[in-house]
Structure 1
Amino acid sequence: MTVALETVLAKAGLRISPVQFAEMIEEATRRLSPATPDPADYFSAEQRDTLTEVGLDLTPRRPDEVDSRARAVAAQTVLRDSALTVGDAAQAVGVDTSRIRHRLSAGRLAGWKDRGGWRLPAWQFAASGVLPGLDVVLRAVPSDQPPLVVAAFMTTPQADLRINDEPATPRQWLLAGGDPTPVAALASMLGTPA
């Protein structure tokens, strides 16, 4: 198992040992929710009745069902492991660390505070520095959206962004020199019902 996981981590470009990866998954899982959450416990009796009336299934997960937390834990672990420190980001962009901190406080770079300082998602950097048009996109992202949601958006093909008639991710669109305005319009809708 360790060799297989080591191979998967290496193919994904993650610089982490299988043991460290497993520890991160365990920590992320603990923070997400109880191992066997009962959806009904999150609502009052009146809310449960209303939700059940409109067809929402509030029964606990069956033992044979895949735990929906697994994908979220894996994605969160990869996001955290691939994120840059302030020093790494400064080196990638070619500026002083104080400039990176200033960009974070001004909302021109995305990041979160973690043990040991700021972490900056790797998706926002390009070989030549910061992703073109990033500041326009980040201004449009609702402030209540967590880093994992923003990362998923930036790295998932969007039907409205097309390169060579194929759906492109917002990151690909911006790297190809696309106008950041349509990406910002899509980003502004994060967290709203479809």
Structure 2
Amino acid sequence: MSTKRTGRTNIGSASTARTKDRGRAAGTKSRTSTPRTTPPASGAAGTTTSAPGAAGFSAVLKDVLGSVPEAERESFVLGVVGDEGEGLDAGLWGRGPSPAERRHAALENLRRQYRARRAVVAESLTRPEAAELLEVSEQAVLDRLKAGDLIGVKKGREWRLPSWQFDADAEQGFVPGLAQVSRVFPGGAVSLTEWALNVNPDLDGATPAEALAAGRIDDVVRAAEAGTAAAW
């Protein structure tokens, strides 16, 4: 009887030992099958670096705005914060204009526009004069105005047609392409006249009026579109 109990005890001990061995083996396998991850080093590829602080952004913005004309800088400020300047950082932009200063600036801008208008009218032809040059009826001139082939400024009830658009060498007596240019140009006849008579870097140093007279309609249209995009 004691022999049998001893046998059972030995068998139980062996079974227990095998169970412990399997447990240790499983634990070892579990530990070895789980890879240890190491956090990536700072600045390594695929990691995200922190963005520059507000102070750094302000410094960059100051440099950029300091390199553009004042009119463009003011236009940018108004586009960001509105006419009242609410939320404007005085440390970044400086003191904003007072209501009186804004009113004065607006009035001066209007005065400049009206001076330009008077100058354009002074250098323009009446409708009868344009009809005489083109050897057409006054109604034909009016039709050209409505179609956009000619541009004009109203003075009272009469039209004044800027003289730069008339060209004795042109097939029809006036520069071609004005209708296409007017469709993309952001201003009226006064501002278009000012633009047309000034040298344009997009036209290799020629004025838009000269380029139209040379038949470079597509180039002038692109220059007008570029000016429109810059204004926005």
Deviations 1:35-80 (A, max 9, x none): xxxxxxxxxxx8423374473842428x9xxx66665443222101
- Is there any run of 5+ residues in structure 2 with no aligned partner, and where? 1-81
2:197 pairs, out of 144, 155, 162, with: 155
Counterparts of 1:119 and 1:190, CA distance in 2: 25
Is the counterpart of residue 139 in structure 1 residue 177 in structure 2? no
With over 3 angstroms needed to count, the CA separation of the structure-2 counterparts of 1:84 and 1:51, relative to structure 1, is farther
Residue of structure 2 equivalent to 1:82? 123
Residue of structure 2 equivalent to 1:102? 143
Residue of structure 2 equivalent to 1:117? 158
Whichever structure has more strand as a proportion of its residues is 1
State the AA in 1 paired with 2:177: G
Alpha-carbon distance, 1:161 to partner = 0.8
Q: Secondary structure at the match of 1:130?
A: coil
Q: Secondary structure at the match of 1:109?
A: coil
With over 3 angstroms needed to count, the CA separation of the structure-2 counterparts of 1:50 and 1:108, relative to structure 1, is same
Alpha-carbon distance, 1:191 to partner = 4.7
State the AA in 1 paired with 2:223: L
Higher relative contact order (CA 8 A, sep 6+): 1
With over 3 angstroms needed to count, the CA separation of the structure-2 counterparts of 1:48 and 1:82, relative to structure 1, is same
Residue of structure 1 equivalent to 2:86? 50
Q: Secondary structure at the match of 1:173?
A: helix
- Is there any run of 5+ residues in structure 1 with no aligned partner, and where? 1-45
Using structure 1 for the length normalisation, give the TM-score. 0.59
Whichever structure has more helix as a proportion of its residues is 2
Counterparts of 2:209 and 2:137, CA distance in 1: 25
Counterparts of 2:153 and 2:138, CA distance in 1: 15
Counterparts of 1:172 and 1:83, CA distance in 2: 18
Deviations 1:84-132 (A, max 9, x none): 1111111122211111111111122111322141121222111242013
State the AA in 2 paired with 1:138: S
Q: Secondary structure at the match of 2:150?
A: coil
Aligned Cα RMSD in Å?
A: 2.9
For the Cα contact (< 8 Å) 1:83–1:121, is it kept in 2? yes
Deviations 1:128-186 (A, max 9, x none): 420133333233334xx122211111011111112xxxx110111222x2421010122
Counterparts of 2:136 and 2:118, CA distance in 1: 28
For the Cα contact (< 8 Å) 1:141–1:187, is it kept in 2? yes
Counterparts of 1:106 and 1:138, CA distance in 2: 11
With over 3 angstroms needed to count, the CA separation of the structure-2 counterparts of 1:116 and 1:70, relative to structure 1, is closer
**Number of residue pairs matched?**
139
